[in-house]
Amino acid sequence: MRSRSNSGVRLDYYQRIVHRLILAHQEPVTGLFPASNINSHAWIRDNVYCILAVWGLSMAYKKIADQDEDRAKCYELEQSCVKLMRGLLMAMMNQKDKVEKFKMTQSPYDSLHAKYSSKNGLPVVGDNEWGHLQIDAVSLYLLILAQMTASGLQIVFSLDEVSFIQNLVFYIESAYSIPDYGIWERGDKTNHGEPELNASSIGMAKAALEAMNELDLFGARGGPASVIHVLADEAHKCQAVLQSMLPRESNSKELDSGLLCVIGFPAFAVDDAQLILNTKDAILSRLQGKYGCKRFLRDGYRTPKEDPSRLYYERWELRMFENIECEWPLFFCYLILFHAFQNDKRSVQEFADKLEKIMVRSEDGTLLIPESYAVPQDLVGAEYQKPGSQIREVVGRCPFLWGQSLFILGRLLQEGFLAVGELDPLNRRLGAQKKPDVVVQVVIIAEDTEIRDKLAEHDLHVQTIAEVAPIEVQPARVLSHLYTYLGRNRKLGLSGRKSRDVGILSTSKLYSLKDRIFAFTPQFVDLSRFYIASDNELMIDILKGEINFLKSAWDLLGRPLVTLVLKRIHLDQDKIPLAMIQTMRKLKSGYINGTRVMLGNLKDFLNTSAITDLSFLGSTEDGYPDRLHPDVQTYLDEHLLRSFSNRSTMNLRGGQLRPRHLRRRMSCKGAIKKTRSINVDSDNLGMEGPSPLTERRLSSVVPPPWLQASKQGHVSVFATTPEEGPTSPPQLGGELVARENMYPVDPLHSRSAIERRSEFVRQQEMPKILIQRHRADTNFADTEVEELIAMLRETENLEEQGDILQYLVDTQGLDFNTELDLDDVMLELTTAGGGGGGGGVVGASDGANKSSVPAVIIDATTPTASNVVKDKDNANLAAIVAVIAKANNPNTNNNAATSAVAAPAAAAAGSSINNSLNNNDSSQSEGMLEEGRVVTVRDLLKGLYEKACQQKLWGLVRHTAGMLGKRVEDLGKAVTDLLVRQKQVTVGMPPNNEHTITAPLPEVELRQLIHDAYGDDESTAMLTQELMVYLAMFIRTEPQLFHEMLRLRVGLIIQVMAKELSRTLNCGGEAASEHLLNLSPFEMKNLLYHILSGKEFAVSSVARGNLSIVSCKSSRVSKKSQIGLGDPEGEDALIATIDDRQGQWLRRRRLDGALNRVPRDFYSRVWTVLEKCQGLAIEGRVLQQSLTQEMTPGELKFALEVETALNQIPQPEYRQLVVEALMVLTLVTEHNMVPSLGGIIYVEHLVHKANQLFLEDQRKVQGDATLCCAKLKDGKEQQQAASGMLLCGGAAYICQHLYDSAPSGSYGTMTYMSRAVALVLDCVPKHGEKECAIS
């Protein structure tokens, strides 16, 4: 036998150690490791870490196998790894029902167990007797399984096992939103068994998902059936959440040494080198000790102060564990591996030396890693006084196999037996290196040749869907359906993927299925989803965002490919919208928002794109892997025909003409508006005074006597003249008398309905019609509904239809059968939608010169291109026109003239009907449904919703969407996106009905919660859902906007948006909330962005009376583009410019208060104040000093407590002054001016004291406040103050001018706050010299 080389001898030494310390404990039957000699439980996590040393050693042997026995040793070690990994696999497969159930419930009781019996692999404790839900353990198993498979071991033997592992991937897929018990099995650190989101679990899951993606579990011998598929977006969500959390571990643990396994070996889950460094440094600076690192701050486990008789801790006792937490040598092993992978030899040596000092020698001289070191009972006092000074003793297991295994790996690396690449065959360690810029490929496809030609006019050449064949283009929902077949297994009872969500990373690949290639359009362009999708500008905005996202998030082979289909429905008045053309030109130029793009045809990109094989769709279980699964076959056959060819029913061509603004007074007028709850100017709520009722009469041709009597010239009905020439009547003199339709109404409804008087879109005030009720209320219920429905048929204005339907819903309910003949209804709805030809009430009123025009009313509405009116209506048309014209002119002699007007109108209408009969016969079926079906109010609303979408009447769209109970598809996802980045969300208007959402909820519950919060106000409830989606978009793309914000209070944000509009447009609160609800989704998102980022903005008007939000860099520019409701000119313009500076600080405080934005490190500084006093009282809520006993300064739970107290304050600007007062208090404590601040501090007293001081100064210098609060009071003033109104309208009895002072300067708020603190707090010395640091 040849002599061994030195390396061989050294390896044999390690082999003996591994055998004695690790393999000797492996159970021969199951291959699992028991926790200790006396405890036969086998933890998944510990078992996987234990076997790593064995795996590392086997690879070291493989390299130097110069003799047969070395190859034998190598094989033996490898098979020990396989045995253990299969043992764990069997134990988990026994619980396959749990995996299936957990996909649905995500409940901790349905999770896989965290530990099994090492004797037989069966469960050892009940579902609810242990914190089993530990996503990091299952993830670690999958990650190491992937690495071992990649290194050449075969662990998985059958396709059933492959499907089980595919389902384990689904099990950890949503780790970013599932609170679990984490790496220390405790959840919240008080150990009360409350799971929480843990960064270490999310990081491990991200690593496992990436490692598993496209991995063949049969190694080199496998085929398409043994490949695991992961949707890239799920891994990316985990990454985004992880990055937003680090270096924090969870809500209750502000830092945790367990994160070392996420930023380094084995997970390498973080891509940002700086973040890795920050996290490591935070752990070393705050948790490192002589004997290792603490697990986390105030960790009571095995400390002398722990009460071993109970599992949980009292909240107050956590403070006792500070500075005496156990230190774990295990983390030095992690740090050695971390630096070895960074190739930092100096640090490796440094930690190796530290570790050497604290290892325990066994009798035969082997170095052992103990579990942890604790302070001995008798030295606790000395340790409290001088942390880190006392000698500690070993507690827990020794050797601790998890640590021992990592130690041996570190030694193998240090001595050069292993290269880092061998421990990481999947190259995860390279994730943080800089990558080249991603080029995003964009393909635009036209729905048909017509659209292709329209694009060609703009020099944009694209293909049609037909021309890209054989590549098939499908919507994202087809892909999400196909993915539900992934991982199905009848034998194991596993049902495949549950989540229906496919993100942009998944749709940016091409997919091959047998010999076909599919491209999928992104999920956000799916029109069936929500009304946001009908706003082209917003879609373009989202597209730009997604392209930008791909640039940073794409890490697959090949380039991302975004496929878009331009459809009929995107056209605006039959033209391609300008915004789309501009964006396509930008794409063509090769750069868009700083991202490199290539615009081209699909076939050009085949070689450069990522292509995934959808092989899992074969029917492998039936033994025909080459044939498609029969269900998939039928699904594809149905869908491929339908998905892009069908015209949706929304595609009525009536959208070309603008909606005609037909104006009539009626008693359900404003029914929608009265549901609004946005309160902008709280002073004048309900101050409008009751307006009298207006009534309509259908039957009478003679004008009612009460109308003749009042000869008011401006009793008028507003309307704009229709666009067509022939129908607009020549101007005729004569008294106008409005034709009123009369029907009785529930007085309660109508009163409040008409109180709300501001009219949108046309910015003019409606003249008031004063009419007395003259009929007693008898039972008119039935006639009322019939007349309403008749009115519904006769009106063309969508807003008015909305009011009628709102009224019907209020009184009759959504499912009320309107008993309309369906053809007529669809006809009414579709023609009204056209807003096209034909008359309406034509009239103009002018209060000044009292001249008026006869009103011509044409009932049966004229058709648009896509509809047909029955012949009988033709005949009635002219007659009705003539009769009405006569009736309207009883006092004038020019009846002839009137009929002369009416006749051409009727003729024009008639001819247009004939035209449409000839041309568009084929389209007759489009707007109609089968006859004989019941038409409910709901059906009518649906029609109205679709038309409002088409005509972009956003206020109406939001309202009808709310009434129909629509919800944003991605609402649950959006809320989850916000929550997992540690932002809580509240909905509803403060202070009374604000609901806080603290944990992800199912969509249905969320929607219910939002609607409960706003009562009947459907529009605002809808707006809330919409804003949540935008907030989620921003937090994904621009997380920096949300710094120092813990709770997003959507109700307050809506109020501030309305306030800002009312300030910019210079209009009243009610008009502003109307403007707000009528902003297009794109402008809404824009306004929200300006408010979040604090940028100044102006409002400019675009077509159709819509508003557009524009950033203004300088106030001079904005003056031009701002539309006030009255434009300032001449001298006024000057005042306006000066005014702009005034109110600036008030506005900033209002914005920051509403967004809950606080100064940096605010919460941890409040913690220091709380430590020095007995409590802080804010709005009647006291923060007790005991909070500091339970929570550490940087803990999220503490921040949320402070936040909750501040949120008791309803007025945002007042809340912000309270925050400033707290900041002054923190300065007092930080500069150690006083040893203690005394008892409970009432923070509002400080603010009010500061206000008093401010007013005294204002009187001295005759400042602005002398006009309001600093006035010398006479009797009337005092009465006013007593009734709760300040003259200047300042919130919470604080002068408006104080809110509007800058924080610094001699008249700044901080100066007054500091003086107030000095006066109010007893502890601050009243005289004598004192170092002042707050100057």
What SS3 state is found at 1240?
strand
Report the pLDDT averaged over residues 590-607: 92
- As given in the structure block, the two tokens for residue 277 are 């460094």
Element (DSSP H or E) covering residue 489? strand 488-489
CB of 225 closer than 8 Å to CB of 618: yes
| Maximum Cα–Cα distance across the chain | 132
Average pLDDT over residues 621-644: 79
Higher pLDDT, 1106 or 308: 308
Beta bridge partners of 394: 373
Residue pLDDT, tens place only, 145-174: 999 999 999 999 999 999 999 999 999 999
Report the share of the chain in percent with pLDDT over 90: 39
CA 812, CA 122: separation in Å to the nearest integer? 60
Quick one: pLDDT at residue 57?
96
Residue with more model confidence, 929 or 463 = 463
What is the reported pTM? 0.78
What's the one-letter identity of residue 1318?
Answer: A
pLDDT at 902: 40
Q: Looking at residue 1324, what is its pLDDT?
A: 64
Residue 366: is its pLDDT beyond 60? Answer: yes
Q: Could you tell me if 1035 and 241 are in contact, meaning their C-beta atoms sit under 8 angstroms apart?
A: no
Q: What is the pLDDT of residue 760?
A: 33
- Tell whether the model's pLDDT for residue 642 goes beyond 90: no
> Residue 619 above 70 pLDDT?
yes
Instruction: Say what the pLDDT of residue 175 is.
Output: 93
Q: Which residue has the higher pLDDT, 1234 or 391?
A: 391
Residue 1236 burial (10 A CB sphere; 0-12, 13-18, 19+): exposed
DSSP for 894-948? THHHHHHHHHHHHHHHHHHHHHHHHHTGGGGGTT---TT---BHHHHHHHHHHHH
pLDDT at 290 over 80: yes
Query: In the prediction, which pLDDT does 1259 show?
Result: 87
Residue 44 confidence (pLDDT): 97
Rounded Cα distance, 1104 and 1121, in Å = 17
**Which region among 562-576, 837-851, 1241-1255 has the lowest average model confidence (pLDDT)?**
837-851
pLDDT on residue 528: 58
Q: pLDDT of 665-678, one tens digit each?
A: 345 666 676 777 67
In the three-class reduction of DSSP (H, G, I as helix; E, B as strand; rest coil), residue 394 is classed as: strand
CA distance linking residue 156 with residue 342, whole number of Å: 32
Contacts of 603 (CB under 8 A, 6+ apart): 468, 471
The average pLDDT across 74-103 equals: 96
Least confident of 364-368, 395-399, 682-686: 682-686
Summarize pLDDT for 918-953 with one digit per residue, the tens. 343 333 333 334 445 677 878 888 888 888 887 888
Classify 495 as helix, strand or coil: strand
What's the mean pLDDT when you consider all of the chain? 78
Highest-confidence range of 143-157, 512-526, 1004-1018, by mean pLDDT? 143-157
Confidence of residue 681 (pLDDT cuts 50, 70, 90): low
> Which is nearest to 45 in space by CA: 163, 135, 170?
135
Q: What is the pLDDT of residue 797?
A: 75
Model pLDDT for residues 1193-1245, shown as the tens digit of each residue: 888 889 988 988 998 888 888 999 999 999 999 988 888 777 788 788 999 88
Return d(Cα 324, Cα 372) in angstroms, integer: 12
Average pLDDT (524-550) is: 82
Residue 545: CB atoms within 10 Å: 18
DSSP 731: P
Cβ atoms of 137 and 114 closer than 8 Å: yes
Amino acid present at 273: A
Report whether pLDDT(16) > 80. Answer: yes
Residue 123 is given by DSSP the state B
Token couple for 1209? 């304050």
Higher pLDDT, 725 or 1330: 1330
Residues in CB range of 687: below 8 A, 6 or more apart:
none
CB 1058 within 8 A of CB 1154: no
pLDDT score of 1144: 82
Cα–Cα distance, 311 to 412 (Å, whole number): 39
User: CB count, 10 Å around CB of 749?
Assistant: 18
**1087 vs 935: which has the higher pLDDT:** 1087
CA-derived radius of gyration, the chain: 37
Pairwise pLDDT comparison (674 vs 585), residue with the higher score:
585
Count of CB atoms situated within 10 Å of the CB of 833:
28
Most confident of 682-691, 998-1007, 1096-1105, 1164-1173: 1164-1173
Segment 175-216, tens digit of pLDDT: 998 999 999 999 898 888 899 999 999 999 999 999 999 999
Give bridge partners of residue 518 from the DSSP assignment.
472, 511
Which band of pLDDT confidence, cut at 50, 70 and 90, is reported for residue 1113?
Answer: low
The region of weakest confidence among 375-379, 800-804, 834-838 is 834-838
How far is residue 686 from each of residues 1069, 1280, 1288, measured CA to CA in Å? 12, 19, 20
Of residues 885 and 577, the one with the higher pLDDT is 577
- For the stretch 1272-1291, pLDDT in tens is 655 444 444 444 456 677 77
Question: Which of 1180, 1248, 1242, 1241 lies closest to 1214 in space, CA to CA?
Answer: 1248
pLDDT band at 535, cuts 50/70/90?
A: confident
SS3 of residue 892 by DSSP: coil
Q: Which residues pair with 289 in a beta bridge?
A: 292
Q: pLDDT category, 711, cuts 50, 70, 90?
A: very low
Min mean pLDDT across 412-416, 464-468, 522-526, 607-611 is at: 522-526
